[in-house]
């Protein structure tokens, strides 16, 4: 495996009884990336992350995290990683402050407590409240703080904004961008397409336990179907536009107004449209969610 990657996974497979969670995952994350791991619940996101931390063992495959083999050097890996599990179990009787101090003690170094307090302030988290009295969203904030507070080299975050309101989601996004700017690599799983679209530089889509697509979010949008509404200054024949590959009519047009479905890149359609006396054009851009769902329209992993 190349040492140029912070995370390298090749041929990773894991089963739970008769259920194959991972069927041969190949994935590579470069140092300093903000990488989104996208898939619906049950697609294999959490299983992959747990394998990277040696919390569970795969049946086959090879892995490197920060140059270490998680199966033989798990202590070295965990000392350098900030991890937020999808289901964070906290001791209910401890105050938030004591919970975070406990997590800090596990790393065997002195925390910069002013940084912990800054994280809590930005996330509007009260450090003096007992964990058992926290809402689901505030418990999630505890998880985010404990992952970030040691300023780790690598962040492995499983659904980091689960349970947070939109304002707090945006604050978490800012914190992740800041961590990346300070030199950390951020690897986060999500089933929220807009989340990946908002912050990821690259994205891997997992389907049926294998990587279905690995690319930039913008590239996935280019692969999608656009809806284009065209209004002409006067009536014209639409047939030349319908001869362009990937272009179909949506509904019934009239002589001067029509809506088209354009699959893939728009260049050929726009060049053909230039011959018309266009009065108005409206392009409805697909969301990343629409792109993602198109990958699950057929085949295994639905």
Q: Model confidence over 36-55: pLDDT tens digits?
A: 998 888 889 999 999 999 99
Using 50, 70 and 90 to split pLDDT, how confident is the model at 255?
confident
pLDDT at 219 over 80: no
Contact 185, 155 (CB under 8 A): yes
Taking CA atoms, 196 is separated from 23, 188, 216, in Å, by 23, 9, 10
Q: How far apart, in whole angstroms, are the C-alpha atoms of residue 273 and residue 282?
A: 13
Average pLDDT over all residues of the chain: 90
Contact 127, 120 (CB under 8 A): yes
Q: What is the pLDDT of residue 302?
A: 34
pLDDT at 301 over 50: no
Token pair, residue 188, equals 């986060």
Contact 197, 38 (CB under 8 A): no
Contact 96, 142 (CB under 8 A): yes
Please write the tens of the pLDDT for every residue from 220-232.
666 678 899 999 9
Q: What is the pLDDT of residue 13?
A: 97
Contact 184, 176 (CB under 8 A): no
Using 50, 70 and 90 to split pLDDT, how confident is the model at 109?
low
Using 50, 70 and 90 to split pLDDT, how confident is the model at 298?
very low
Q: Could you tell me the fold of the domain covering 225-285?
A: Alpha-Beta Plaits (3.30.70)
Using 50, 70 and 90 to split pLDDT, how confident is the model at 289?
low
Residue 271: CA count within 13 A, CB half-sphere: 7
We find that the CATH architecture of domain 5-220 is: 3-Layer(aba) Sandwich (3.40)
DSSP string covering 9-46: EEEEEEEETTEEEEEEEEEEEETT-EEEEE--TTSSHH
pLDDT at 288 over 70: no
**What's CA 114's distance to the chain center, in Å?**
29
Strands 81-84 and 60-65: unpaired
Token pair, residue 94, equals 């401890």
pLDDT at 300 over 50: no
Token pair, residue 108, equals 């065997």
Q: What is the pLDDT of residue 295?
A: 56
Q: Which residues pair with 121 in a beta bridge?
A: none
Q: Considering only CA atoms, which of 195, 203, 232 is closest in space to residue 219?
A: 203
3-class secondary-structure state, position 84? strand
Q: How far apart, in whole angstroms, are the C-alpha atoms of residue 279 and residue 105?
A: 67
User: Residue 141: which region, alpha, beta or left (left: phi > 0; alpha: psi -120 to 50)?
Assistant: alpha
Please write the tens of the pLDDT for every residue from 11-34.
999 999 999 999 999 999 999 999
Q: How far apart, in whole angstroms, are the C-alpha atoms of residue 221 and residue 231?
A: 24
Q: Which ranges of the chain does DSSP label H, i.e. alpha helix?
A: 45-52, 74-80, 96-106, 113-122, 136-148, 166-181, 193-199, 217-222, 239-242, 267-273, 288-295
Q: What is the pLDDT of residue 43?
A: 87
Q: How far apart, in whole angstroms, are the C-alpha atoms of residue 206 and residue 266?
A: 27
Four-residue CA torsion sign, 64, 69, 74, 75: negative
Please write the tens of the pLDDT for every residue from 118-167.
999 999 999 999 999 999 999 999 999 999 999 999 999 999 999 999 99
Where are the domains positioned within the chain? 5-220, 225-285
Task: Look up the pTM and report it.
Answer: 0.80
């Amino acid at each position: 495996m190349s040492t140029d990657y912070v995370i390298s996974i090749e041929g990773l497979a894991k089963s739970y009884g008769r259920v194959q969670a991972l069927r041969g995952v190949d994935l590579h994350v470069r140092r300093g990336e903000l990488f989104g791991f996208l898939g619906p619940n049950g697609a294999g996101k959490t299983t992959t992350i747990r394998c990277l931390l040696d919390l569970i063992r795969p049946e086959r495959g090879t892995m490197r995290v920060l140059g270490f083999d998680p199966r033989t050097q798990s202590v070295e890996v965990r000392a350098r990683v900030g991890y937020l599990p999808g289901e964070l179990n906290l001791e209910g009787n401890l105050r938030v402050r004591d919970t975070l101090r406990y997590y800090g003690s596990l790393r065997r170094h002195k925390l910069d407590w002013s940084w912990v307090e800054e994280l809590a302030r930005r996330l509007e988290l009260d450090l003096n409240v007992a964990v058992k009295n926290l809402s689901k969203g505030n418990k999630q904030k505890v998880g985010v703080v404990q992952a970030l507070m040691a300023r780790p080299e690598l962040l492995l975050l499983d659904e980091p904004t689960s349970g947070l309101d939109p304002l707090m989601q945006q604050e978490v996004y800012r914190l992740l961008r800041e961590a990346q700017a300070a030199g950390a690599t951020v690897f986060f799983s999500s089933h929220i397409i807009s989340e990946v679209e908002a912050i990821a530089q690259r994205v891997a889509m997992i389907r049926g336990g294998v990587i279905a697509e690995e690319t930039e979010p913008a590239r996935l949008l280019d692969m999608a179907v656009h809806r284009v509404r065209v209004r002409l200054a006067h009536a014209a024949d639409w047939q030349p536009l319908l001869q362009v590959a990937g272009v179909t009519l949506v509904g019934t047009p009239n002589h001067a107004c029509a809506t088209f479905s354009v699959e893939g890149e728009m260049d050929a359609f726009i060049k053909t449209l230039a011959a018309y006396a266009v009065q108005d054009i409206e392009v409805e851009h697909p969301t990343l969610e629409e792109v993602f769902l198109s990958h699950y329209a057929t085949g295994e992993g639905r």
